[in-house]
Amino acid sequence: REDGSILNKEKLHEQLVELKSIDNQWNKSVYLSSSGGSGGKRLFFATDIKQNLLQRQILVDMMLKQNIISHNDICLNLFQSNNIYRSFEIFNDFCSIANCTTLPMSTSANDEDVLDVIEYFKPNILMGSPYRLMQLAFFIEKQSKKEIKFEKIFFACESLDEIKQRFFKRIFHCSIYIGFYGSAETGVFACQSPKYSSTKIYLYPKDLVHIEIIDSKIIVTNLIRKRNQLIRFDIGDLGRLISNDEHDKYGLIEVFHSQRLVMIG
């Protein structure tokens, strides 16, 4: 932003409303995400389709290099897929870009069917919101079938507290928890690696986003998505940058407090 000001969600939503009234192409050739509006009004954030895909490719490239995902993985996807919420699609895309198998069941699949798919395909990565994964864990706990084992759990949409982690370790025999970070407006731009499992520290590609910390607020500039580009956007969370080699392709951010661990639209 030329004046150096910070863009907050309220200002952004005003801009979206104005854009809709003056640009008759605002809804053409765009990737739409659902962005919660102030006062409960729901708005939609539009960005370029190809640039959005490029953002995912950059993130997956980091995931492959950091041993977060590999082409040998089989991923069970229990994320949400309806009402213009994108998490289910996003994680399917991550798998496709990484050339690994995805089992796209979605959050609405019943637990009996999910368990059948687990036993048939033997996925090693479980993906979903902690709430949905708890539901599955409770169901599996009641079954007398052989034990279920996952190498990693990918989660988003809410935090994964220690109580859930202990429960998942007992039911899923898994101790690597990979959180994803972003928003409907910025897209997903950071995630954890096995090294930072169960922490609040996330890696992000420096060629994808520029992050500033101002008064502990996380300020994000998206360097890839140029349509309705976010410049110095206050994502609404608190955190700090962790210093690492300035020549490293990836930065580190610790998120102290998040309104949503990731509300990916």
Q: What pLDDT digit, counting tens, does each position of 137-149 carry? A: 999 999 867 789 9
pLDDT at residue 62 is higher than 60: yes
- How many Å is the Cα radius of gyration of the chain? 19
Task: Locate 227 and state its tokens.
Answer: 């349509």
Name the one residue in this structure whose structure tokens are 């050339």: 99
pLDDT of residue 3: 55
Residue 3 lies in a domain: no
Cα separation, 25 vs 27, whole angstroms? 6
Residue 199 lies in a domain: yes
Residue ranges of E strands in the chain? 30-36, 42-48, 74-77, 101-104, 125-128, 152-155, 177-183, 187-191, 201-205, 209-214, 217-222, 233-242, 250-257, 262-263
For residue 105, count other CB atoms closer than 10 A to its CB: 22
Mean pLDDT value across residues 16-21:
86
Question: Model's pTM, two decimal places?
Answer: 0.92
Mean pLDDT value across residues 100-115:
97
Residue 170 lies in a domain: yes
Strand-pair category, 250-257 with 233-242: antiparallel
Domain, as residue range, for 158: 9-263
Mean pLDDT value across residues 71-78:
98
Contacts of 258 (CB under 8 A, 6+ apart): 159, 181, 237, 238
Could you tell me if 33 and 185 are in contact, meaning their C-beta atoms sit under 8 angstroms apart? yes
Mean pLDDT value across residues 103-119:
96
Residue 163 lies in a domain: yes
pLDDT at residue 262 is higher than 60: no
pLDDT of residue 265: 43
Mean pLDDT value across residues 177-203:
94
pLDDT of residue 135: 97
pLDDT at residue 188 is higher than 90: yes
Residue 2 lies in a domain: no
The DSSP 8-state label assigned to residue 7 in this structure reads B
pLDDT of residue 96: 98
pLDDT of residue 61: 98
Mean pLDDT value across residues 29-39:
75
SS3 96: helix
pLDDT at residue 125 is higher than 80: yes
Cα separation, 249 vs 81, whole angstroms? 32
Residue 4 lies in a domain: no
213: enclosing H helix or E strand? strand 209-214
Residue 122 lies in a domain: yes
Domain total of the chain: 1
Cα separation, 99 vs 168, whole angstroms? 27
CATH at residue 21: 3.40.50.12780
Residue 37 lies in a domain: yes
